[in-house]
């Protein structure tokens, strides 16, 4: 006996990836519904070797469905998630809408699976920000060993984090560089993204940080430990898929780089590729399509008493979004619903 599963936002980058990963991981699905807005109604999407037509999110009845994976943005989620939850369908939401609600668990299954039972308060579970998800997978096993005091992270985030429009803009601007008659002004991004980097993701806040940077701080505290101090600089780079992060960690106790490497090798969801030679590390291009979070360049930081540096790379459409949502669905099934 399997689950009746809804994917809302099935025609977007993340929604399509959710369908792919549900099929790849052989999630026990009895019935699946792909939902989209009216303008995408009837669009065909793939689920394994099947093709299914999208249904209208606005008129869909969630009654009798076990869980719904949402990839429709905060505004639409605010309308439809409460409807689904009230109908008894557990919502796993990829937007930022519910992440900071104390009554809604924010889950990365490798890090805080014990919080799954908190879903019952509102029948909703939040999926973290893409840049946070991959980082906390690496932080948690190290925190368990040596207690993290402070994290300084600089991100190198791909354009797919801004959706299909972001990917299209990079593609069109890159082509235009080689065609002197073309001009593709920025629309999705604040400045030209082709052959450039932009230190600005999401809106600016009063203290000068951006919302993306604030998310990494708040979500790390909620998922791992509220006492960890985090400071982030989030940067958009001209990469299609795959987020990278340079992470500097300060611990309460000394942690040797070799022990850290061993800890991370044993940790769930992580692949350590760390050879001190040319090419002995992972780049975003190499992580595309993979489930793992890759860790490279592990080394002591001699400028602080107990410091380490590392390089963290992951497919943001997978671990940063769709994979994590499916892993939450698997956890929900295993620990709570127990049907599949």
Residues 242-272: tens digit of each pLDDT: 999 999 999 999 999 999 999 999 999 999 9
Residue with tokens 């993340």: 14
Q: Report pLDDT for 340.
A: 62
Task: Report the C-alpha gap between 124 and 121 in whole angstroms.
Answer: 8
Query: Is 78 within any annotated ligand binding site?
Result: no
Query: Is 208 within any annotated ligand binding site?
Result: no
Confidence of residue 338 (pLDDT cuts 50, 70, 90): confident
b/e string for 182-197 if b means 16 or more Cβ within 10 A? eebeeebbeebbbeee
Confidence of residue 181 (pLDDT cuts 50, 70, 90): confident
Long-range contacts of 280-287 (CB under 8 A, 24+ apart): 281/311, 282/311, 282/313, 283/242, 283/244, 283/313, 284/156, 284/158, 284/239, 284/241, 284/242, 284/243, 284/244, 284/313, 285/239, 285/242, 286/313, 287/242, 287/313, 287/314, 287/315
- Global pTM? 0.95
Query: Is 14 within any annotated ligand binding site?
Result: yes
The predicted-structure confidence for 84-113, as pLDDT tens digits, reads as follows: 999 999 999 999 999 999 999 999 999 999
Query: Is 11 within any annotated ligand binding site?
Result: yes
Residue 195 near residue 174, CB atoms below 8 Å: yes
Best CA proximity match to 127, nearest among 329, 262, 325, 303: 325
Eight-state DSSP code of residue 283: -
Q: Report pLDDT for 191.
A: 98
* Angle at alpha carbon of residue 165, lines to 161 and 171, rounded to 5°: 95
Query: Is 37 within any annotated ligand binding site?
Result: no
Catalytic residue set: 130, 243
Q: Report pLDDT for 180.
A: 83
CA 253 to chain centre: 29
Q: Report pLDDT for 182.
A: 87
Residue with tokens 């991370």: 264
Q: Report pLDDT for 45.
A: 96
Query: Is 155 within any annotated ligand binding site?
Result: no
Residue 300 near residue 308, CB atoms below 8 Å: yes
The predicted-structure confidence for 186-226, as pLDDT tens digits, reads as follows: 999 999 999 999 999 999 999 999 999 999 999 999 999 99
The predicted-structure confidence for 11-70, as pLDDT tens digits, reads as follows: 999 999 999 999 999 999 999 999 999 888 889 999 999 999 999 999 999 999 999 999
Q: Report pLDDT for 162.
A: 94
Query: Is 215 within any annotated ligand binding site?
Result: no
Query: Is 13 within any annotated ligand binding site?
Result: yes
């Amino acid at each position: 006996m399997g689950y009746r599963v809804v994917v809302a936002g099935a025609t977007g980058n993340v929604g399509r990836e959710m369908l792919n990963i549900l099929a790849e991981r052989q999630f026990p699905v009895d019935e699946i519904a792909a939902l989209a807005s009216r303008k995408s109604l009837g669009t065909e999407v793939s689920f394994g070797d099947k093709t299914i037509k999208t249904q209208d999110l606005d008129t869909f009845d969630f009654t009798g469905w076990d869980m719904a994976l949402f990839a429709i943005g905060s505004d639409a989620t605010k309308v439809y998630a409460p409807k689904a939850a009230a109908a008894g369908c557990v919502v796993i939401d990829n937007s930022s809408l519910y992440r900071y609600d104390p009554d809604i668990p924010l889950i990365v299954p490798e890090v805080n699976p014990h919080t799954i039972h908190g879903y019952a308060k509102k029948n909703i579970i939040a999926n973290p920000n893409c840049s946070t998800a991959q980082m906390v997978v690496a932080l948690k096993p190290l925190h368990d060993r040596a207690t993290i005091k402070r994290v300084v992270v600089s991100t190198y985030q791909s354009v797919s984090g801004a959706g299909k429009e972001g990917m299209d803009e990079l593609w069109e601007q890159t082509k235009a560089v080689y065609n002197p008659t073309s001009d593709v002004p920025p629309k999705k991004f604040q400045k030209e993204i082709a052959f450039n980097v932009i230190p600005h993701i999401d809106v600016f806040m009063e203290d000068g940080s951006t919302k993306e940077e604030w998310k990494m701080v708040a979500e790390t505290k909620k998922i791992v430990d509220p006492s960890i101090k985090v400071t982030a600089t989030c940067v958009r780079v001209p990469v299609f898929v795959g987020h990278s992060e340079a992470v500097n960690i300060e611990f309460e106790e000394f942690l040797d780089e070799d022990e850290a490497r061993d800890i991370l090798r044993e940790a769930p969801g992580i692949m350590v590729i760390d050879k001190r030679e040319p090419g002995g590390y992972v780049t975003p291009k190499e992580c595309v399509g993979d489930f793992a979070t890759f860790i490279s360049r592990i080394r002591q930081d001699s400028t602080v008493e107990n410091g380490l540096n590392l390089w963290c790379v992951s497919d943001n459409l997978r671990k940063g979004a769709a994979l994590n949502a499916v892993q939450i669905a698997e956890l929900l099934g295993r620990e709570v619903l127990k049907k599949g």
